[in-house]
Chain A
Amino acid sequence: MKKTYKIEVDCANCANKMEDATKKTAGVKDAVVNFMTLKMSVEFEDGCDPKKVMQEVLKNCKKVEDDCEIFI
Chain B
Amino acid sequence: MTKKQKKMLIRIIISAMLLLGFHFLPVQGIVRFFLYFIPYLIIGYDILIKGWKGIRNRQPFDENLLMAIATIGAIIIALYDSGDYTEAIAVMLFYQIGEWFQSYAVGKSRRNISDLMDIRPDYANIEVDGKLEQVDPDEVEIGSVIVVQPGEKVPLDGIVLEGVSTLNTSALTGESLPREVNVNDEIISGCINMTGRLKIKTTKGFEESTVSKILDLVENASSRKSKSENFITKFARIYTPAVVYSAIALAILPPLVRMIGFGLSAQWGAWIYRALTFLVISCPCALVISIPLSFFAGIGGASKAGILVKGSNYLEILSQVKCVVFDKTGTLTQGTFEVSGIHHNKMEDEKLLEYAALVESFSTHPISKSIQKAYRKKVDASRVTDIQEISGNGVIAKVDGICVAAGNDKLMKRLQIPYIACHHVGTIIHMAINGEYAGHILISDMIKPHAKDVISSLHSSGVEKTVMLTGDAKKVADQVANTLGIDEVYSELLPSDKVEKVESILEGKQYKGKLAFVGDGINDAPVLSRADIGIAMGAMGSDAAIEAADVVLMDDDPMKIVKAIKISRKCLRIVYENIWFAIGIKLICLFLGAIGIANMWVAIFADVGVMILAVLNAIRALFVKNL
Contact = CB atoms under 8 A, between A and B. Distances in A.
Q: Do A and B bind each other?
A: yes
Interface of A: 10-13, 16-17, 32, 34-39, 41, 63-64, 66-67
A35 to B, nearest CB: 6
5 contacts: A10-B99, A13-B236, A63-B57, A64-B59, A66-B53
A39 B219 contact: yes
Given A12-B293, A13-B285, A37-B220, 19 more contacts: A11-B102, A11-B103, A11-B289, A12-B288, A12-B289, A13-B63, A13-B289, A16-B233, A16-B288, A17-B59, A32-B223, A35-B292, A36-B106, A36-B113, A37-B219, A39-B219, A63-B53, A66-B49, A66-B50
A37 B222 contact: yes
Contact of B222 (A11, A13, A34, A64): A34
Interface in B55-113: 57, 59, 62-63, 99, 102-103, 106, 110, 113
Interface in B186-220: 219-220
Given A12-B289, A63-B57, A64-B59, A34 B103 contact: no
Nearest to A60: B57
A66 B296 CA distance: 25
A34 B50 contact: no
Tell me which of A11, A32, A64 has the highest count of chain B C-beta atoms within 10 A of its own C-beta: A11
Given A11-B102, A34-B223, A36-B293, A64 B57 contact: yes
Interface in B244-289: 284-285, 288-289
B621 to A, nearest CB: 12
B272 to A, nearest CB: 26
A11 B236 CA distance: 14
Contacts of A66: 49-50, 53
B242 to A, nearest CB: 16
Interface of A is mostly: mixed
A63 B103 CA distance: 22
B373 to A, nearest CB: 45
Contacts of B296: 36
A5 to B, nearest CB: 13
B132 to A, nearest CB: 32
A72 to B, nearest CB: 19
Contacts of A64: 57, 59
Interface in B468-507: none
Contacts of B4: 10
Nearest to B50: A66
Given A13-B285, A13-B288, A36-B296, A41 B102 contact: no
Interface in B283-304: 284-285, 288-289, 292-293, 296
B285 A11 contact: yes
A23 B60 CA distance: 19
Contacts of B292: 12, 35-36
Contacts of A16: 233, 236, 288
Contacts of B57: 63-64
Contacts of B63: 13
Contact of B62 (A10, A12, A13): A13
A42 to B, nearest CB: 12
Please list the 10 inter-chain residue pairs (A to B) with the smallest Cβ-Cβ separation, ordered nearest first.
Answer: A36-B296, A32-B223, A13-B288, A12-B289, A34-B223, A63-B57, A36-B222, A12-B288, A37-B219, A64-B59
Contacts of A67: 46, 50
A41 B222 CA distance: 12
A35 B106 CA distance: 10
B223 A41 contact: yes
B429 to A, nearest CB: 55
Contacts of B62: 13, 17
Contacts of B288: 11-13, 16
A17 B46 CA distance: 18
Nearest to A40: B223
A36 to B, nearest CB: 4
Nearest to B290: A12
Contacts of B220: 34, 37, 41
Contacts of B284: 13
Contacts of B285: 11, 13
A12 B53 CA distance: 19
A13 B40 CA distance: 24
